[in-house]
């Protein structure tokens, strides 16, 4: 039987690895009340975790990526399928949404001056041409055991990814169109036959993600995996065969074309940590609460107020723009605090740009 002195010794009775499970709030408070405040991971409250990114690892996909942010790891694959307009119920539009020269160089970072009107983006949400989905039931964490039905969190993240795709208008409708231009000699104005370009089909992009390890800020990692996979995506050259009345695709890799994405939206998830003894106090000292950027799984459980701010910069000369702000729980983040968070988000945008460019250079 162990002696009373051994049971009373906290070092022997409670290992350090168990503290996040026993009292995450007390452990996090003990670190943050230091001067300067540091998290258990030895990061400052506004410091984000390093990012590891690889693209093009999955050869059977049109585009793929592997993202690791801290302990969070996500693999993403993009699969393109042809959707003929004849299979779309009540489809009426037969002309293209925009005219452009596919061989002309395009500034990838310019979101607003691209020749496409804003209302022309409606085909993507209307016909569900972008379908993101994330799977958490892979044993990635104790909360998500393997071989179970999709959780509410997985469905919520998939919907948020889809909403951000539509809000940012990241993918151009013209990149997903398959156009047929009849020969000029077939035009006959008396019979009402013209040689105008006709929209015959769309590309539908299925963006499937699998979370291998869940270590916090899952939405941010999922979006980076999605964005990197879309940057890596190449669509085969496709055309309409009037004799076969179907879409044909070229098997030549050099004929494939990359997607021309608009800008680079970057979400930054944050949390507000409040010590347990100060939860009922609104006004206090500087140590009353802390805003933590890029939380890990342990910190997410200790924060009572969370949110995500998504920023984007169209190009080097384009000022930073805020695409959306999401927040749930708590009254501690005001306009002034949100301005500081936007500054942290801008720093993360620069981090992601550097990581992405390095990954693309290796492919």
**DSSP-assigned beta bridge partners for residue 213:** 73
Q: Is the Cβ–Cβ distance between 229 and 89 less than 8 Å?
A: no
When comparing pLDDT for 114 and 348, which is higher? 348
- What the block records as the tokens of 32 is 């943050």
User: What integer is the mean pLDDT of 216-244?
Assistant: 94
Asked if residue 288 lies in contact with residue 271, where contact means CB atoms within 8 angstroms, the answer is: no
pLDDT at 103: 36
Mean pLDDT on 228-240: 94
Q: How far is CA 81 from CA 178, 222, 235, in A?
A: 12, 22, 10
Evaluate whether 212 touches 138 at the Cβ level (below 8 Å). yes
Contact criterion met (CB below 8 Å) for 241 and 247: yes
| Whether pLDDT at 79 is above 90 | yes
pLDDT digits (tens, 9 = 90+) for 275-294: 875 544 444 444 478 999 99
Structure tokens at 178: 């398959």
DSSP 124-155: HHHTT-EEEEEE-TTTSBTTB-SS-PPPHHHH
**Region 93-105 average pLDDT:** 45
Mapped onto helix, strand or coil, the DSSP state of residue 56 is coil
For the segment 180-199, the average pLDDT, to the nearest whole number, is 70
Rounded CA-CA distance 177/204 in Å is 10
* Average pLDDT score, the chain: 81
Nearest to 322 by CA among 269, 271, 361, 265: 265
Helix (H, G, I), strand (E, B) or coil at 251: coil
Q: Name the packing angle between helices 335-361 and 218-232 (round to 10°).
A: 40
Q: Is the pLDDT of residue 159 over 70?
A: yes
Report the percent of the chain where pLDDT is more than 70.
Answer: 77
Q: What is the pLDDT of residue 284?
A: 44
pTM: 0.84
User: pLDDT by residue (tens digit) across 22-32?
Assistant: 567 788 888 88
Domains of the chain (ranges plus CATH)? 51-92+122-182+198-270+303-361 (3.30.230.70)
- For the cut 60, the answer to whether the pLDDT of residue 110 exceeds it is no
Q: What is the pLDDT at residue 235? A: 95
């Amino acid at each position: 039987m162990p002696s009373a002195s051994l049971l009373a010794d906290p070092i022997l009775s409670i290992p350090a690895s168990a503290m996040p499970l026993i009292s995450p709030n007390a452990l996090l408070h003990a670190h943050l009340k230091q001067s300067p405040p540091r998290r258990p991971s030895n990061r400052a409250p506004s410091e984000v975790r390093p990012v590891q990114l690889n693209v093009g690892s999955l050869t059977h996909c049109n585009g793929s990526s592997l993202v690791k942010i801290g302990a969070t790891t996500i693999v993403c694959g993009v699969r393109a399928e042809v959707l003929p307009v004849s299979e779309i119920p009540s489809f009426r539009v037969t002309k293209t949404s925009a005219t452009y020269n596919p061989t002309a160089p395009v500034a990838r970072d310019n979101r607003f001056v691209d020749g496409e009107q804003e209302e022309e983006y409606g085909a993507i949400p209307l016909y569900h041409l972008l379908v993101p989905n994330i799977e958490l039931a892979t044993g990635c964490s104790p909360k998500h055991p393997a071989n179970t039905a999709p959780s509410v969190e997985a469905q919520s993240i998939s919907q948020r990814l889809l909403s951000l795709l539509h809000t940012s208008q990241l993918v151009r409708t013209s990149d997903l169109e398959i156009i047929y231009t009849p020969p000029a000699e077939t035009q006959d104005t008396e019979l009402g036959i013209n040689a105008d370009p006709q929209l015959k089909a769309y590309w539908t992009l299925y963006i499937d993600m699998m979370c291998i390890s869940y270590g916090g800020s899952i939405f941010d990692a999922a979006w980076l995996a999605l964005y990197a996979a879309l940057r890596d995506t190449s669509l085969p050259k496709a055309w309409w065969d009037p004799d076969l009345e179907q879409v044909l695709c070229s098997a030549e890799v050099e004929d494939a074309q990359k997607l021309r994405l608009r800008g680079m939206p970057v979400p930054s998830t944050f949390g507000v940590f409040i010590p347990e003894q100060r939860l009922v106090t609104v006004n206090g000292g500087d140590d009353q609460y802390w805003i933590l950027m890029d939380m890990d799984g342990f910190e997410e459980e200790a924060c009572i107020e969370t949110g995500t701010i998504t920023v984007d910069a169209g190009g080097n000369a384009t000022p930073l723009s805020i695409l959306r702000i999401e927040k749930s729980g708590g009254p501690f983040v005001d306009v002034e605090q949100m301005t500081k968070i936007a500054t942290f988000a801008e720093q993360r945008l620069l981090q992601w740009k550097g990581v992405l460019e390095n990954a693309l250079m290796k492919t």
